[in-house]
């Protein structure tokens, strides 16, 4: 007897649903993001944390930056603030010549009128430079800092060279023609945020009031403006006829920052839509290139990716690396052993004892005992025992404590045993006194080699347990020096 049509349809539907459920459980690799179609003549997008260039288009051609020049002017002002030669409350006198330039919109565009004989604070001048892009305010600060704009421009070019930029500045404001590359502008923005993160307090402002007039920010990617981009908090536009429309921008998503630059766009709309496309692509590439789902926007992404590509045992759980979990002794040992193994730098195995001339064929072989009482059947047993036989770690009381969390000073001692480090002293941290005597020499050598660095308040934190992310960063530094 054949099933009815209704029952047959129900069975087919059930099979289809079952197949769909099975297929949905299969992990499918995400496709590589499609490269953006950028209309600007030059463009670049950079990962702030690593400096990795995620996309570029003619990024090394010298082009006119227009008012993006003001980023370098502001950078030098911040250097003066850092050195204590200026404060934000320092008042700067406005000369008659600069007051006239501030009203000369033809030769010094983006004019914000200043009053001759008045004094304006550095804080206010920074806002005028970075938000409505006031050109004369740049000259005011240049002359105050260096005595003349030409001397200030010389410092701009010296600073650019020090930062690794390709630039030829000829003025402090960009209202007149000079040249740099899109890559150089991205390098400058990255260096600025890294050294002086307080700059974002200025570049994120949507406008400023001066002498009773409201001046909007020309970067319209900021919240509430025409081309608002989620997470955008700066940076700087530039527009003159020789430059077209330029924009350097930055945004943060899930704790990761991207920097973009476009130069010589055809209009204000396209410089913003190009920048949006670049930022979207940059964040998409972070996710696509991520070795694990939970490090796509984590600071350890590149370290973990490098170790995974090398073939290091990272003890991941599927698509999860768990970067902020504390690392165990077993995990660190497995990571270290395989990092040395894949780098071809494992020490030679000790020579085996000579076999007796004659063997008693009737003797019953003794069972092989694990090196440690508490590692038998552990996922890392093989790595732990191999590392012990190579004297990378020591056998003390017959217990390894594989699931115990490892401290930074324990990691220092283990690495000092593995590596032939120069006998140098890299200490000088605020908490050097916390280092145990048995770890002191190892801490001195490993910190001198740059394997361990101080954190907040220049603290080494030798007694603190390390996260899996920190362990990955340390071991990636190890593989880089092998």
CA–CA separation, 310 vs 341, rounded Å? Answer: 10
Confidence of residue 23 (pLDDT cuts 50, 70, 90): very low
For 115-145, write each residue's pLDDT tens digit: 999 999 999 999 999 999 999 999 999 999 9
DSSP 222: S
Asked whether 278 and 38 are in contact (CB, 8 A), the reply is: yes
CB 244 within 8 A of CB 41: yes
Residue 47 CA to residue 290 CA, distance in Å, equals 13
User: Which residues are paired to 214 by β-bridges?
Assistant: 209
**pLDDT single digits (tens) 230-250:** 999 999 999 999 999 999 999
Q: Distance (Å, rounded) from C-alpha 107 to C-alpha 395?
A: 77
Q: Does residue 257 register a pLDDT over 90? A: yes
Nearest of 41, 45, 46, 47 to residue 61 by alpha carbon: 41
Domain residue extents for the chain: 42-289, 293-345+373-481
Which residue in 42, 67, 135, 248 is the catalytic one? 67
Which residue is catalytic, options 42, 57, 70, 101?
A: 70
DSSP for 147-203 reads SSHHHHHHHHHHHHHHTT--EE--SSSSSS--EE-HHHHHHHHHHHHHH-GGGHHHH
3-state SS assignment for residue 230: coil
Q: Which residue carries 């698509």 as its tokens?
A: 319
Q: Given 42, 111, 133, 172, which residue is catalytic?
A: 133
pTM of the model: 0.71
- Whether 70 is a known active-site residue: answer yes
Q: Which of 135, 278, 129 is nearest to 205 (CA)?
A: 129
Instruction: Assess whether 67 carries a catalytic annotation.
Output: yes
> Are 292 and 321 a contacting pair, CB within 8 Å?
yes
- Of 454, 408, 446, nearest to 430 by C-alpha is 454
Q: What is the pLDDT of residues 146-186, one digit of tens each?
A: 999 999 999 999 999 999 999 999 999 999 999 999 999 99
Bridge partner residues of 91 (DSSP): 121
Write down the pLDDT at residue 50. Answer: 86
- Give every CB contact of residue 89 below 8 A, 6+ residues apart in sequence: 121, 122, 123
Task: For residue range 305-364, list pLDDT tens digits in order.
Answer: 999 999 999 999 988 999 999 999 999 999 999 999 999 998 887 765 565 556 656 655
pLDDT surpasses 90 at 293: no
Q: Which fold has domain 42-289?
A: Beta-lactamase (3.40.710)
pLDDT at 478 over 90: yes
The pair of three-digit structure tokens given for residue 421, joined into one six-digit string: 């480090």
Confidence of residue 397 (pLDDT cuts 50, 70, 90): confident
pLDDT tens digit sequence for 362-386: 655 555 566 888 999 999 999 999 9
117's tokens: 């004989």
266 confidence band (pLDDT: 50, 70, 90):
very high
Indicate the SS3 state at residue 47. Answer: strand
Q: Tokens representing 207?
A: 């406008």
């Amino acid at each position: 007897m054949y099933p009815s049509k209704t029952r047959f349809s129900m069975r087919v539907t059930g099979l289809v649903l079952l197949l769909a459920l099975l297929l949905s459980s299969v992990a499918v690799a995400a496709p590589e993001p499609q490269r953006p179609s950028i209309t600007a003549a030059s463009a670049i997008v950079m990962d702030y944390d690593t400096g990795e260039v995620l996309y570029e288009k003619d990024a090394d051609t010298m082009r006119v930056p227009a008012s993006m020049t003001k980023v370098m002017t502001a950078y030098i002002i911040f250097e003066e603030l850092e050195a204590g030669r200026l404060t934000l409350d320092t008042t700067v006198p406005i000369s008659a010549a600069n007051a006239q330039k501030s009203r000369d919109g033809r030769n010094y565009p983006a004019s914000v009128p200043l009053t001759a004989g008045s004094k304006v604070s550095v804080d206010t001048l920074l806002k005028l430079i970075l938000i409505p892009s006031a050109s004369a305010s740049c000259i005011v600060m240049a002359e105050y800092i260096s005595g003349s704009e030409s001397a200030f421009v010389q410092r701009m070019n010296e600073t650019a060279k020090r930062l690794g930029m390709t630039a030829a500045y000829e003025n402090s404001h960009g209202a007149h023609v000079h040249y740099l590359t899109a890559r150089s502008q991205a390098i400058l923005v990255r260096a600025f945020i890294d050294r002086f993160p307080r700059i974002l307090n200025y570049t994120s402002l949507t406008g400023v009031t001066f002498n009773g007039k409201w001046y909007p920010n020309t970067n319209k990617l900021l919240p509430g403006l025409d081309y608002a981009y989620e997470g955008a908090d700066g940076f700087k536009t530039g527009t003159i006829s020789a430059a077209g429309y330029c924009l350097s921008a930055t945004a943060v998503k899930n704790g990761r920052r991207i920097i973009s630059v476009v130069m010589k766009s055809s209009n204000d709309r396209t410089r913003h839509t190009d920048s949006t496309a670049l930022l979207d692509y940059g964040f998409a590439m972070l996710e696509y290139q991520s070795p694990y789902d939970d490090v796509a926007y984590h600071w350890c992404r590149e370290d973990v990716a490098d170790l995974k590509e090398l073939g290091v045992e990272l003890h991941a759980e599927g698509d999860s690396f768990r970067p902020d979990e504390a690392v165990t002794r077993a995990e660190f040992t497995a990571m270290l052993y395989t990092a040395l193994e894949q780098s071809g730098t494992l020490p030679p195995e000790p020579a085996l004892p000579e076999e007796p001339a004659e063997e008693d064929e009737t003797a019953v072989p003794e069972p092989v005992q694990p090196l440690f009482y508490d590692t038998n059947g552990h996922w890392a047993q093989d790595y732990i025992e191999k590392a012990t036989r190579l004297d990378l770690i020591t056998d003390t009381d017959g217990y390894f404590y594989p699931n115990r969390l490892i401290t930074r000073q324990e990691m220092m001692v283990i690495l000092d045993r593995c590596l032939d480090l120069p006998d140098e002293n890299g200490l000088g941290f605020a908490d050097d006194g916390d280092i145990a005597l048995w770890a002191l020499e190892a801490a001195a050598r490993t910190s001198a080699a740059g394997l361990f660095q101080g954190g907040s308040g220049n603290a080494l934190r030798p007694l603190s347990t390390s996260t899996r992310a920190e362990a990955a960063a340390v071991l990636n530094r190890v593989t880089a020096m092998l």
